[in-house]
Amino acid sequence: MWETGVTQILRKWREQGHTRLDCAKIVSTRTSRGGLDQWRWTVPTSANRSVSVKDVAAAAGVSLGTVSNVLNKPDRVSEATRQRVLAAMTDLGFVRNESARQLRSGVSRTLAYLMLDASNPFFTDVAAGIETEAETHGLTVVLCNSGSRGAREQAHLELFEQQRVQGLLVTPVDPDSPTLDAVARRGTPVVIVDRTRDDDSLCSVAVDDVLGGRIGIEHLLDRGHRRVAFIGGPADLGQVRDRLEGARSAWSDAGLDPEDLLTLRTEDLRVADGREAGQRLVGLPASRRPTAAFCVNDLIALGLLQQITQAGLRTPDDLAILGYDDIDYAAAAAVPLSSVRQPRQQLGRTAADLAMTEAAGGPHTHRRVLFTPELVARASTLG
């Protein structure tokens, strides 16, 4: 059986154009240890010196300039030589060197998005919007993930800047970080995504979080709730602060006692934090327990829903739950989750658009775009 495998592989490699097959040493071993199986094959390593236009020119028997023309101005080259050059390229495995092109042209054809947390579906949706918009302009998008770690963010920012990306979209750990200004000042268009600054020293695209908090509370008031918990954290996160601010102002506008708008802090914004908050909520005496919870994002809302369901409470009868973001998992929860929707894809598309506009040059006008969130009412608050 191994014999057969080896023969097949040899044939395949030959088809792939490997020329040094005869001296290839083929060894197969199968080991199994620690729940890990491995097969090993030695393979003919290809000559690693990279093939340049010069090599192609020599092989095709033309000058270097002709090869360049085949790539960039094909109509200036006769069909016969063009074919000859193309054949030489595939023969030699020629690959254009992007560094050299970029060095020469001065601009790259990529847009970068530095995500705060790639494991949060909110940000991957934003990224999808960026990709959509960039694609229509012929740009490719590269993604990096800071994982909320300042040092990694810094490293990625530096690399992107050195790579001279056309535009640098970023959801920063700290939107007020002077690093961002420095990058922008040196000439890379920077767009802050899903965060804002108080001044408008950079382009930014975000959603009006104060309004979102207000909308959420107004919905719960409409549904007759007069004792509500606002659940979220960390307290110093802009989104959390703004949404709470909006919630509080809607609450007091309705002439209600601030005491009845409970605030439950969480460590972070993950499902586990919602479960933990659920435990605290369930522990409250029924007389003091809120009739509704407004969660600062959907992950927390999902965790909360799971926890109280497990504890035997029913949603929305015992506790109505309102989330924030309207990620795909929200509509699909055991009790479909009401949520304050953010236009995620459009956030991304707009951010990409701003970056490309700024990159296009001309007198630039920093712009702060604020989208309006929208309530999506489902069973978890409607009953």
User: Site for DNA (CB under 7 A): how many residues?
Assistant: 30
DSSP 22: G
Record the tokens describing residue 88, joined without a space.
Answer: 């030489």
Q: Are 168 and 161 in contact (CB under 8 A)?
A: yes
33 contacts a second copy (rule: CB under 8 A): no
Task: Give the per-residue contact string, 277-306, with a second copy (x = CB under 8 A; - = no).
Answer: -------------------------xx-xx
What is the β-pairing status of strands 30-32 and 167-170? unpaired
Residue 235 or 360: which CB sits closer to a second copy? Answer: 360
Return the residues of window 94-153 that contact a second copy according to CB under 8 A.
95-103, 106, 108, 110, 118-119, 121, 124-125, 127-128, 131, 135, 140-145, 147, 152
Distances (CA, A) of 13 to 3, 5, 23, 249: 15, 12, 13, 70
Task: Give the per-residue contact string, 33-52, with DNA (x = CB under 7 A; - = no).
Answer: -----------------x-x
**Burial environment of residue 303 by CB neighbours within 10 A (0 to 12, 13 to 18, 19 or more):** buried
Record the tokens describing residue 5, joined without a space.
Answer: 């495998």
24 contacts DNA (rule: CB under 7 A): no
Residue 261 or 320: which CB sits closer to a second copy? Answer: 320
Buried b (16+ CB within 10 A) or exposed e, 264-285: bebeebbbebbbbbbeebbeee
Site for a second copy (CB under 8 A): which residue of 8, 83, 136, 279? Answer: 8
53 contacts DNA (rule: CB under 7 A): yes
Residue 94 or 251: which CB sits closer to a second copy? Answer: 94
Q: Are 55 and 92 in contact (CB under 8 A)?
A: yes
Contacted by 185, from DNA, a second copy, none: CB < 5 to 8 Å by type: a second copy
Return the residues of window 69-128 that contact DNA according to CB under 7 A.
69, 71-73, 76-78, 80-81, 94-97, 100-101, 103-106
Site for a second copy (CB under 8 A): which residue of 18, 137, 241, 289? Answer: 18
Site for a second copy (CB under 8 A): which residue of 2, 185, 253, 260? Answer: 185
Residue 45 or 72: which CB sits closer to a second copy? Answer: 45
Minimal distance in Å, beta carbon 139 to DNA?
17
16 contacts a second copy (rule: CB under 8 A): yes
**Burial environment of residue 6 by CB neighbours within 10 A (0 to 12, 13 to 18, 19 or more):** middle
Single out the segment in contact with DNA by CB under 7 A; choices: 61-69, 146-154, 298-306, 329-337: 61-69
87 contacts a second copy (rule: CB under 8 A): no
Task: Give the per-residue contact string, 311-350, with a second copy (x = CB under 8 A; - = no).
Answer: -----------------xx--xxx----------------
Write out the DSSP string of 125-187.
HHHHHHHHHHHHTT-EEEEEE-TT-HHHHHHHHHHHHHTT-SEEEE--SSTT-HHHHHHHHTT
Record the tokens describing residue 315, joined without a space.
Answer: 């949603």
54 contacts DNA (rule: CB under 7 A): yes
163 contacts DNA (rule: CB under 7 A): no
364 contacts a second copy (rule: CB under 8 A): yes
Long-range contact pairs involving 154-161 (C-beta distance under 8 Å, separation at least 24): 154/179, 156/114, 157/114, 157/183, 160/112, 160/114, 160/188, 161/186, 161/188
Q: Which of 204, 132, 140 is nearest to 166 (CA)?
A: 140
Residue 75 or 198: which CB sits closer to a second copy? Answer: 198
Return the residues of window 250-309 that contact DNA according to CB under 7 A.
none
**Burial environment of residue 78 by CB neighbours within 10 A (0 to 12, 13 to 18, 19 or more):** exposed
Q: Are 209 and 246 in contact (CB under 8 A)?
A: yes
Q: 270: which residues sit within 8 A by CB, 6+ positions away?
A: 299, 300, 303
Residues that bind DNA (CB under 7 A): 50, 52-54, 62-69, 71-73, 76-78, 80-81, 94-97, 100-101, 103-106
